[in-house]
Amino acid sequence: MDEKYFAKKVEAKWQQKWAAARAFEAVIDLSRPKFYQLEMLPYPSGNLHMGHVRNYSVGDAVAWYKRLKGFNVLHPIGWDSFGQPAEDAAIKRGVNPRDWTEENIVAMRGQLERLGISYDWSRQMAAHRPEYYKFDQWFFLKMYELGLAYKKKTQVNWCEHDQATLSNEQASGGLCWRCGNPVTKKDLEQWFFKTTAFADRLLDDMAEIEAGWPASVIKRQRDWIGRSEGAFVDFKITTGESIRVFTTRIDTIFGVNAVVVAAEHPLIREHDAEFSQEVRDAIEAIRLEKLVPADRETEAEKNGVDTTLKAINPFSGEELPVWVGNYVMMEYGTGAVMSVPGHDERDFEFARKFGLPVPRVIESQRRGESEPENAGDEISSAFTEYGVLVNSGEWSGKESNEAKRQMTAFAAANEFGEAATTYRLRDWGVSRQRFWGSPIPMIYCDSCGVVPEKYENLPVELPANAPLTGTGESPLAKVPEFYETRCPNCDEPARRETDTMDTFVDSSWYFFRYTDPHNQTMPFDPEIAAYWTPVDQYIGGDDHAVMHLIYTRFWTKIMMQLGLVDFDEPVKRLLTQGMVVGETFFDESSGKKIYFQPAEVKVERDAKGKIISARSTTGAELKHAIERMSKSKGNGVDPDEMIDIYGADAARLFVLFAAPVENELVWHEAGIEGAARFLQRVWRFVWKWKAVLSEQTLGSPGSNSRATANARKLRTKTHQTIKRVDDNLDSLQFNTPVAALMELSNAIYDIKVEPADASADEIFAVREAVTALVLMLVPFAPHTAEELFANIVGNENGILANNGRFPEFLEEYATADEIEIPVQINGKLRSRVFAAPDADRQTLETLALGDAKVREHTDGKAVVKVVVVPGRLVNIVVRG
């Protein structure tokens, strides 16, 4: 141990020792409880960014904490290595995607190792390697057999920028998840996974995980699945057939003024010949609207056209016009709605625009609010609440809920409708017209049709090369050696599917593979997986709240159906960490933001450190803001550089300390300096007390002597800290336990005794405090903690080999001899008295009333009441 702390040296040393000892390789051990700690696997872009550092630092803190608590921990990592960036790099730079990916993996693994994250590298997986994607294909075949994989031609989400299709989840918000550009629609034939078959389970099983997942993620998934209970109702049209609509408000059906259908509705195509050219053109215009990326700022104006077809309201017998409306979506419900302008805002807007009648059929039950407007009064808005039916034939006077039930039953009995549940969730479109993905193992045969590849022929390997153009056609379709094959059924020449699978397929089950990463015949051995899974703690960004996390839940339900697992939720506890952001400086006088690198900015601060002004070196006045990190904005931070300057432990400690995990983390270099300073401080007192620390063995029974006040105080602080840190880590808080450790470190400094002059009690107290502090430091700064620990125990075998455990909390030492009791007068703090922690009411009251400062405030006044909260405070209520 050097007198001064050299982070680089210590970190390199322990990284080497860990690797040599295979310290983090997980082995099944039935004698201990298991703990599966998982972080979302990275895409191998080639560079770790601070978001990764945060994610893995948090995960490692949990992994170490659990190890110290006696758990058998599995902490693996791998690579989400299929996907578009490799292909883009190939197109731009002419490299081979496979080489590019492998090189990036090597580079990033090096970075992770320099960070000292305690991964079991023997279990590393990479999605692009045939031994892994073989089982993507295996699952695909299983899904096909179960009828859960199917092909259909449909309008898919299309990103013009990426030249690729997107699932609904990936196109959420109308923007491409990868590049952020607006999404359009395109007609394509695609493979789908039937996620909708599990809509109810995905929704209902959330009850199992609700307690361990962030409420926001649960909510977003609920909204995304969007279960909606209502009814189908058939409106006969005068030409004979009928239009089926979905409604959640069948109670408003007497208020229908029209049936409105989507432009793509089959009925429109069928009756095309009957429409005037004018109507036909208008419908076509509405259909084309959707192919243009939507402007997210402004809601599209209602638009529509009367088809001149007529429909009959099955309840009232009224004849209604059939319109095409731009606000009706073919993909939801039946692609047709009954328009009730009196009680639906969209229908109201539509009716107003086209001058359609607005009947009222529901009145509010609340008194005074619903006096029906006088005939002729203009209705100013839709009344969307439940109420009492009016002008609704035999149902008039009934309450909405009651009416819904009866009217649905009536429709069913008369065979023009039925109760129905619809979902917003759609099936998962998994075909990608891309090279760098897992090939879909299906074959097209002229005589046999669609034939699945045989299991024994898996993996269907990607060719070494393919012409990559990024134009939206599958590159594999240009590689005859790939697609030319024979039919597994009849052995005649046949053609392979040339689309590849969505990369989200890989990440849907990768963490099961970690449990049995070298299995050649199965994705994993169910028995081995049964020991490690489900995941106990999963950590990642909340940008995957809907996409990855809904797919992996879906996948688990399928695995359950296949008998691979015996649970239906893969992740017990989920933690979503906030983004890492940094300060940017920019000039927007030209109307566009021009960012400046930190070196080009001069900042002037006031006495308190607040920025008064910022100028560029060229003299321009700059604005500043906190924004997502990126090189081009000048606020990016290179993890390697930080490790180089301050050390991995300081970087990790800062990232954990600077903000609660779920919050945004504002990167300030001064902060990491503070973290490094703290580690130096700890190092210094271990050095100072080294001689007396190492002459004792770890874990010797505590001396009960608490003779000197110094020693007593420190022991109290030590045990209070142990409790705090344990509780905090257990509830996934990382900033507060670091603060607690800093306090303990300050308390060790406060003892102000030189080792040579210290009493036996003081030495004991310091040893206890230092040992506890070092062990509790492990989750935050493992290298430093290992080195310090080695100096305490006198060997370099490492904490795990020494069976190091989280320090034991001893309640008897956690209570101070004397505590400070605030004394309030009329709720205002006026004085403090000292008393034993268990002093009773009477003692405290007497003590408080006798206090000199209290007397000044109570003299000449009547004490009305004395509130005593033992161990907390005294409040004296006076009058006069």
Partner RNA sequence: GCUGGGGUGGCGGAAUUGGUAGACGCCCGGGACUUAAAAUCCCGUGUUCUUAGGAGCGUGCGGGUUCGAUUCCCGCCCUCAGCACCA
Which positions from 327 through 356 interact with RNA, judged by CB under 7 A? Answer: 327-329, 332-333, 335, 337-338, 340, 344, 346
Q: With respect to RNA, which residue has the nearer C-beta, 72 or 831?
A: 831
DSSP 265-294: -HHHHHTGGGS-HHHHHHHHHHHHHTTSPP
Contacting RNA (CB under 7 A), which of 106, 161, 204, 216? 216
Work out how close the CB of 626 gets to RNA at its nearest, in angstroms, rounded to a whole number.
8
Name the segment binding RNA (CB under 7 A); options: 33-41, 556-564, 644-652, 823-831.
823-831
* Sequence-ordered list of residues with C-beta below 8 angstroms from that of 631, at least 6 positions apart, any chain: none
**543-582 residues near RNA, rule: CB under 7 A:** 546
Interacting span for RNA (CB under 7 A) from 166-174, 437-445, 643-651, 709-717: 166-174
> Which of residues 13, 194, 681, 690 is near RNA by CB under 7 A?
681
- Out of 9, 152, 161, 219, the only residue in the binding site for RNA (CB under 7 A) is 219
- What is the C-alpha separation between 67 and 90, in angstroms, rounded? 42
Q: How many residues bind RNA (CB under 7 A)?
A: 87
Give 531: exposed, middle or buried? Use CB within 10 Å, 0-12, 13-18, 19+: middle
603 binds RNA (CB under 7 A): no
Which run of H or E residues covers position 155? strand 149-159
Q: Which amino acid is located at 755 in the chain?
A: P
Q: Point out which span in 587-595, 669-677, 753-761, 843-851 binds RNA (CB under 7 A).
A: 669-677
Of residues 682-711, which lie at the interface with RNA (CB under 7 A)?
684
Region 756-815 residues binding RNA, contact defined as CB under 7 A: none
CA distance 557 to 563: 10
Indicate the residue among 248 and 370 with the shorter CB distance to RNA: 248
Q: Which stretch binds RNA (CB under 7 A): 241-249, 616-624, 643-651, 839-847?
A: 241-249
Contact letters (x/-) for RNA, 731-760, by CB under 7 A?
----xx-xx--xx--x--x-----------
Q: What's the min distance (Å) between Cβ of 441 and RNA?
A: 32
CA separation (Å) from 85 to 132, 409, 440, 468, 672?
Answer: 19, 54, 20, 12, 32
* Residue of 61, 112, 63 lying closest to 779 (CA atoms): 61
Nearer to RNA, 355 or 609 (CB): 609
Burial 643-665 (b: 16+ CB within 10 A, else e): beebbbbbbbbbbbbbbebeeeb
Rule CB under 7 A: say whether 605 interacts with RNA.
Answer: yes
Positions 482 through 511 that interact with RNA (CB under 7 A): none
d(CA 5, CA 647): 10
Please, what's the largest Cα pairwise distance for the chain? Answer: 110
Nearer residue to RNA within complex by CB, 168 or 556: 168
610 binds RNA (CB under 7 A): yes
Among 103, 223, 369, 566, binds RNA (CB under 7 A): 223
Question: Which of residues 249, 360, 544, 717 is near RNA by CB under 7 A?
Answer: 249
Q: Tell me: cis bond preceding 660? Omega within 30 of 0 counts.
A: no
Q: Scan residues 395-424 and list those touching RNA (CB under 7 A).
A: 422, 424
In sequence order, what are the residues at sequence separation of 6 or more whose Cβ sits closer than 8 angstroms to the Cβ of residue 695?
none
The length of the chain in residues reads 880
Interface with RNA (CB under 7 A), residue from 805, 822, 845, 870:
822
Q: Based on the shown chain and the rule CB under 7 A, indicate whether residue 200 belongs to the binding site for RNA.
A: no
- Tell me how far CA of residue 544 lies from CA of 66, 221, 564, in angstroms: 25, 11, 25
Task: Compare residues 93 and 608 and give the one whose CB is closer to RNA.
Answer: 608
Footprint of RNA on 302-321 (CB under 7 A): 302
Closer Cβ to RNA, 592 or 610, answer by number:
610
Among 196, 248, 316, 815, binds RNA (CB under 7 A): 248
Q: Quick one: tokens of 531?
A: 């020991």
| Single-letter code of the amino acid located at 84 | Q
The conformation of residue 399, written as its DSSP 8-state character, comes to B
Query: Residue 46 or 822: which CB sits closer to RNA?
Result: 822
Distance in Å, CB of 297 to RNA, minimum: 7
Print the SS3 string covering 617-684: CCCCECEEEEEECCHHHCCCCCHHHHHHHHCHHHHHHHHHHCCCCCCCEEECHHHHHHHHHHHHHHHH
- Does position 257 bind RNA by CB under 7 A? no
- What distance in Å separates the CA atoms of residue 64 and residue 806, rounded to the nearest whole number? 10
Task: Return the half-sphere exposure (C-beta side, CA atoms, 13 A cut-off) of residue 413.
Answer: 7
Q: What letter represents residue 219's amino acid?
A: K
Q: Which residue bears the tokens 């300030």?
A: 668
Q: How far apart are CA 132 and CA 523, in angstroms?
A: 8
Comparing CB distances to RNA, the nearer of 747 and 792 is: 747
Q: With binding defined as CB under 7 A, does residue 827 bind RNA?
A: yes
Q: Is residue 613 part of the contact set for RNA (CB under 7 A)?
A: no
User: Which part of the chain contacts RNA (CB under 7 A), choosing from 24-32, 246-254, 407-415, 589-597?
Assistant: 246-254
Nearer to RNA, 296 or 486 (CB): 296
For residues 215 and 464, which CB has a smaller minimum distance to RNA in the complex? Answer: 215
